[in-house]
Amino acid sequence: MITASHTPRQPAEVTAAAAAATASSDAWQRELAQAITDPAELCRLLQLDPRMALAALEAAGRFRVLVPRGFLRRMRRGDPRDPLLLQVLPGARELIEQPGYSADPLGEQATQRAPALLHKYRGRALLIATGACAVHCRYCFRREFAYPDHADVAAALTVIAADSSIEEVILSGGDPLSLGTSRLRRLTDDLRNIAHLRRLRLHTRTPVVLPERVDADLGAWIASLPWPCIVVLHCNHANEIDASVRAATARLRAAGATLLNQSVLLAGVNDSVGALHALSEALWSAGVLPYYLHLLDPVRGAAHFEVQESRGRQLLAQLAAQLPGYLVPRLARETRGAPAKTLIAPAPWESLRESPRKSPRESLDDAAY
């Protein structure tokens, strides 16, 4: 299912594909412009208690609501516990200060080698291509990140060009697919001249929440790249994947991209073996391999999503007992200053024993939306 090789298209094919895309290339931007930004509208469209919108308004002042309408259509009407809704609807719990939760939980400011360049791990560097996203996830560890201006990318490119240890550039953000394809093309045109680059990676949630973004123009750009392109999607629940997402991932694979997925283990969203099993199967149906399942980064406002590490180990052990290894993601934690992610599970069999399910933070007043 996963395309491991990279076969750039010939220039004539690329030109033809780009021409064919012209008529539809603005569709995703129109869709994004119509995304929901008002918690009251979100609650009204989902037939939820209007009091939830009132509670959401104050928290939305810290990190605004953004939900594409196509993503909303995958949520259940009248269900305040819908796993997709919980990821995007602000609540009063975000306003409760928790010890250990901060604006920069991974100490990323200390890894900045240029305003738009984070260098955490050997051989790879993160280019913060934009601060914009197609959706605002309430647990996002960069929800308070001080995003640089466009102009700062030039300084990042200079650092990458001067450091031959950087063999892989990761376009991140925000979400790099929030940028138009012409902007992405200009960016990679600048990277083409750097001889020591071997791979390009994109970290993106856009193909999941706004699959229209994966149009023919984007596919032509990916197919034209001189390096293998790895697209690491961000999907947390099987209900996020419908026919439109499968069509988008098929287009990415047809362009030659290798598709992986990273999720965050989120209380109330995917912290059950059934939810994780269904997610792995849904990813497989879309030609995507589960890669990482991250423990929550302790960002201010997201404590109510925390799942204890012991519970994560238990879930992964149960998952490993049900699925082939290639459908079991690696449970990992990112630790500030560490030279790599800390791998936690799949766990040994003894962790199948029962352990307490809820942390004190998960037991915060569930009704306090």
- Residues interacting with ligand SF4, by CB under 6 A? 133, 135-137, 140, 142, 173-175, 205, 234
Q: Least distance in Å: CB of 106 to ligand SF4?
A: 13
Give whichever of 135 and 279 is closer to ligand SF4, judged by the CB atom. Answer: 135
Q: Least distance in Å: CB of 57 to ligand SF4?
A: 19
Q: Least distance in Å: CB of 320 to ligand SF4?
A: 26
Burial 305-331 (b: 16+ CB within 10 A, else e): bbbbbebbbbbbbbbbeebeeebbbbb
User: Are 69 and 28 spatial neighbours (Cβ–Cβ below 8 Å)?
Assistant: no
With a CB cutoff of 8 Å and minimum separation 6, the contacts of 324 are none
DSSP string over 203-245? EESHHHH-GGGS-HHHHHHHHH-SS-EEEEEE---GGG--HHH
Residue 147 exposure: Cα atoms within 13 Å on the Cβ side: 18
Give whichever of 21 and 299 is closer to ligand SF4, judged by the CB atom. Answer: 299
Q: Least distance in Å: CB of 114 to ligand SF4?
A: 19
Give whichever of 207 and 228 is closer to ligand SF4, judged by the CB atom. Answer: 207
Give whichever of 140 and 222 is closer to ligand SF4, judged by the CB atom. Answer: 140
Give whichever of 17 and 179 is closer to ligand SF4, judged by the CB atom. Answer: 179
User: Are 295 and 333 spatial neighbours (Cβ–Cβ below 8 Å)?
Assistant: yes
Give whichever of 204 and 318 is closer to ligand SF4, judged by the CB atom. Answer: 204
Q: Least distance in Å: CB of 261 to ligand SF4?
A: 13
Other beta carbons less than 10 A from residue 87's beta carbon: 26
Crossing angle for the helix pair 11-21 and 216-224, nearest 10 degrees? 160
Kindly tell me the number of DSSP H helices and DSSP E strands found in the chain. Answer: 13, 10
Other beta carbons less than 10 A from residue 197's beta carbon: 19
Spell out the alpha helix ranges (H) of the chain.
Answer: 11-21, 27-33, 39-45, 50-60, 69-72, 85-88, 153-162, 181-192, 206-209, 216-224, 243-254, 273-285, 309-320
Q: Least distance in Å: CB of 365 to ligand SF4?
A: 25
DSSP-assigned beta bridge partners for residue 56: none
Give whichever of 46 and 140 is closer to ligand SF4, judged by the CB atom. Answer: 140
Rounded distance between C-alpha atoms, residue 238 and residue 44, angstroms: 24
Give whichever of 135 and 171 is closer to ligand SF4, judged by the CB atom. Answer: 135
Assigned token pair, 221: 């750009």
Other beta carbons less than 10 A from residue 341's beta carbon: 15
Rounded distance between C-alpha atoms, residue 147 and residue 306, angstroms: 25
Q: Least distance in Å: CB of 264 to ligand SF4?
A: 8
Rounded distance between C-alpha atoms, residue 350 and residue 283, angstroms: 28
Give whichever of 266 and 347 is closer to ligand SF4, judged by the CB atom. Answer: 266
Give whichever of 62 and 122 is closer to ligand SF4, judged by the CB atom. Answer: 62
Q: Least distance in Å: CB of 141 to ligand SF4?
A: 7
Q: Least distance in Å: CB of 142 to ligand SF4?
A: 5
Closest CA to 93 of 55, 65, 63, 49: 55
Q: Least distance in Å: CB of 294 to ligand SF4?
A: 10
